Structure 1
Amino acid sequence: MTTVLISGAGIAGPSLAFWLSRYGYDVTVVEQARGLRASGAAVDFRGDQMALLERMGILAEMRSYDTAMGDQLIVDAAGRQVSRLPSVIFSGELEIERGDLSGVLYRHTKDGVDYVFGDRITALDEQADSVYVTFEHRRARRFDLVVGADGQHSGVRRLAFGDGFQVDLGYYTAGFSMPNVLGLDHSARIYNEPGRYVNVSSARNPRRAAVSLVFASPELAYDRRDLAEQKRIIAEHYGATGWVVPQLLRELEKADDLYFASLSQIQMPRWSTGRIALLGDAAWCGGPGASGTGYAMLGAYTLAGELVSTGDHAVAFARYEEAMRPATTKSAKFATGAGKFLAPATEAKIRRRNRTYRFLSSRPMTGLINKLAKGHANTGDLADYQPLTTV
């Protein structure tokens, strides 16, 4: 039986484990965190991505977690509406909170997959017929294949390919949850000051709200494991911001689910080397608006399908990349200006962006945008992979 080690228990990793375990592979998923991440921005699905959820047999369950998010209102410092974004623009055909999606994938894989939380890969030694993997805590072990599905700051990518593939876009993003002190009901509020974006939303859980931040900044040096330091950075950038931001910063101090990262893209000449491959943000992180979650799940389906149908990891890795690279490259190009759009640099640019929102919210434009977004999410008809007799 082919043994596969997947690094990362976010979305890409469990999605790949879902398919590989059903094809008869012996799958282990190692995750540095001590459990599943329950927080994170909501993710939406469109086009081919919906067909994939149906093929996985989880579409009905996913619909039960639909956020049913309404419009997002853009407000001024006094909380008065200045523009709005209809839900069809950002929620797709189905929107689900990231933590709910993670839970669905875990429940559908945990019985057939060995999940190891609280550990990480520290060394990879590829040999002729296997990869010898050293872990921080558990004993070393050989695997036939290793897949890095461990996100933008992929440890597998660093160990197998080295550094130098991250292109920073000049912005940072943060997210955390807090009590729904604004009384939002399946809606969101967006506020801007030059170089700063604030989004507060509440959907399925009326008692909780999600805060999303984007701010312009030169490259920052910080410890990715030090939440207190990250909170200080956020407070420094938002300390003089108006609207309800002072209240949000007080809630940030109590938050235990902070996510903080640069808005960056990963640009690699290839996604595999020998018996090691990359998937999702580890391979092609495009940033906001790049259909990252949907493409991660499509990539997992494609990678698993090519492995099981070819029986040759080198051929499978090449065909997987050939199938996914055009769509992810196009998507990343589309998302390059996301930071500037979300957090314009001047008051004049904020007003211009808000006028764009008003234009986009007109009925003819919402229909066109929905059509374009669906096409943007598509990679073509899902291949019908036929497993070999043995794996």
Structure 2
Amino acid sequence: MTTRKVLISGASIAGPALAGLLARTGYDVTVVEKASQLRAGGQAVDFKGRTHRDILTRMGVWDDVCAQQTPKTDWRMVDDADRVMAVIPGEFIGGDVEILRGDLAGILHRRSADDVDYVFGDEIAALTDGPDGVDVSFAHRADERFDLVVGADGVHSAVRRLAFGPELDHVERLGYFYAVASGSVPLDGLETRLPSGRAVAYGYNVPGRLALAGGQKAPNLFVFRGGGGDAYDRRDIDSQRGFLQDAFAGVGWRVPEMLAAAGAASDFYLDEITRTRMTTYTRGRVALVGDAGYANTLGGFGTGLAMMGAYVLAGELARAHGDHGAAFAAYDARMRKPTKVARTGSAGPFLAPPTQRRIRLRDRTFANPVMRRAMMWITDVFATDTSLPDYGPGVAARVR
């Protein structure tokens, strides 16, 4: 039976990307987002390599992304006396093109808004997957039946929990946390004038903790080891701010000023660094796209994988002429290889090494030109997947 009515949970990156593709291939698409509006700002996300560029080009957003890209930001790692111990190049941190998460979400929303029903301020409360459709209950609006439901609602996906089981059955806690918050921090005595098209951020480490003073228009970033996600209330901003303050209590450099800025920031965000353990992303009439299925927090490939997943799922549904069973099987098979990067490694120990010796080892790696080139080569390998299918004009050309 041909499926035509699709519900997508989440309006960040993967959700609007998939919604636009499906709507322009004839689907009736609703996107539900629990936030009251699109979330502006946020940390920078990036795209790297031929595969990512091909996807953005086929989706029709490459020029828009380039027009709103942020400068490449080099991370200068410094000690207490502001001496630069190593430089982590912007090409390693940010790929070929970098853009603020909120700007990318805005591009994808604008390109799909005329064809998609966006519902903000609501969320899925329950779902029942049956042979003829998925019956969905919402927190506020009336119950409704859909042919397919897609979870594009992040690492704490409600759709995954309802359709696949408890979060900790599929998500691995890695013992690290991160926080992002805007706020200007004085950088007296540090070089801030750079060649056109580049920016600089300054990072300071003590064992198990990183404080990064963001570059041009970029938020500040904190990464730290912690006891567990139960140490704060994920739905309480004050609890999260207190958790961050406790983690960096007594740390010097410019950290007290950064903490003060975080305490006043309206866009404060804190979460645990996690990765998923999933190798299949569909069950019945429900599918997962992006971090809901293949997350590795701060790992550097999440946004590219989200866009790839949206493109592949839409393409396989088009190729299968709406036969969701065949399309879902092909989607699972196609995404298993590129999502392998989401199931390995963790950004936590790299960004906030647990010992002073590990901090020195990382800095020496990037201070050595040969080792730095080797690290860059590794990221190039992970970023390129030569097997990306071309689903033809039925998917790509219809995206304005």
State the SS of the aligned residue for 1:202: coil
Deviation by residue 1:50-72 (Cα, 9 ceiling, x = unmatched): 11111122111111112122422
User: 1:385 aligned to 2:391?
Assistant: yes
2:288 counterpart residue number: 278
What does residue range 39-188 of structure 1 map to in structure 2 within 5 Å? 39-47=41-49, 48-163=51-166, 164-179=169-184, 181-182=186-187, 184=192, 186-188=199-201
Per-residue Cα deviation, 1:48-106 (whole angstroms, up to 9, x for no partner): 00111111221111111121224221111232212112222222111111111111111
Unaligned runs of 5+ in 1: none
Deviation at 1:27, TM superposition (A): 0.7
TM-score by length of structure 2 reads 0.90
Q: Select which of 5, 25, 28 maps to 1:26.
A: 28
Deviation at 1:365, TM superposition (A): 4.9
- In 2, are the aligned partners of 1:36 and 1:102 still within 8 Å (CA)? yes
CA distance in 2, matches of 1:43, 1:340: 20
CA contact under 8 A between 2:151 and 2:159: conserved in structure 1? yes
Structure 1 distance, partners of 2:277, 2:96, is 29
After the TM superposition, which residues 211-290 of structure 1 pair with which residues of structure 2 at under 5 Å, given as runs?
211-221=220-230, 222-290=232-300
Task: Provide the C-alpha distance between the structure 1 equivalents of 2:380 and 2:365, rounded to a whole number of angstroms.
Answer: 20
Instruction: Flag the 1:260–1:94 CA change in 2: closer, same or farther, 3 A.
Output: same
Q: Provide the secondary structure at the position in 2 that maps to 1:173.
A: strand
Q: Is the 8 A contact 2:7 2:29 kept in 1?
A: yes
Whole-Å Cα distance in 2 between the matches of residues 224 and 346 of structure 1? 28
2:340 to 321, 329, 334: 329
SS at match of 2:204: strand
CA distance in structure 1 between the aligned counterparts of 2:213 and 2:103, rounded to whole angstroms: 18
| Other-structure match for 1:38 | 40
Cα distance, 1:116 vs structure 2:
0.8
Report the CA distance between 1:381 and its aligned residue. Answer: 4.2
> Which stretch shifts more, 176-185 or 45-54?
176-185
Which runs of structure 1 show a deviation greater than 3 angstroms over 4 or more consecutive aligned residues? 180-185, 364-372
* Paired residues of 1:290 and 1:331 also in contact (CA < 8 A): no
**1:368, distance to aligned residue in structure 2 (A):** 4.6
In structure 2, give the amino acid aligned to 1:349.
R
Query: How far apart are 1:330 and its partner, in Å?
Result: 3.4
TM-superposed deviation, 1:180: 5.3
CA contact (8 A) 1:92 1:370 kept: no
**SS of corresponding position for 2:228:** coil
Cα distance in 2 for residues equivalent to 1:126 and 1:331? 27
User: Cα distance 1:182–1:139, how it changes in 2: closer, same or farther (>3 A)?
Assistant: farther
CA contact (8 A) 1:168 1:264 kept: yes
Separation in 1 of the partners of 2:229 and 2:293?
23
C-alpha contact 1:324 1:379 (8 A) present in aligned 2? no
CA shift in 2, pair 1:353/1:370, >3 Å: closer
Match of 1:189 among 191, 202, 205: 202
Identity %: 44
- Kept in 2: contact 1:193–1:347 (CA 8 A): yes
Distance across 1 between alignment mates of 2:73 and 2:261: 24
Distance in 1 of aligned mates of 2:352 and 2:185: 24
Please list every run of 5 or more consecutive structure 2 residues that lacks an aligned counterpart in the other structure: 194-198, 396-400
Where in structure 2 are the equivalents of 1:194-213 lying within 5 Å? Answer: 194-203=207-216, 205=217, 209-213=218-222
SS in 2 for 1:179: coil
Distance 1:146 1:231 in 2: 34
AA paired with 1:42?
Answer: A
**Alpha-carbon offset, residue 251 of structure 1:** 1.0
Asked whether the 8 Å contact 1:75–1:190 carries over to 2, the reply is yes
- Using the alignment, how far apart are the partners of 2:200 and 2:97 within structure 1? 15
Q: Distance in 1 between matches of 2:332 and 2:277?
A: 13
Structure-2 change in CA distance of 1:304 and 1:119 (3 Å): same
1:280/1:319 Cα in 2 relative to 1: closer, same or farther (>3 Å)? Answer: same
Q: Do the aligned residues in 1 keep the contact of 2:178 with 2:222 (CA within 8 Å)?
A: yes
Which residue among 322, 346, 354 is the counterpart of 2:355? 346
Cα distance, 1:369–1:355 mapped onto 2, change above 3 Å: closer
**Structure 1: distance between partners of 2:54 and 2:118:** 27
Deviation at 1:268?
Answer: 2.3
Aligned-residue Cα RMSD (Å) equals: 1.8
Amino acid at match of 1:384: D
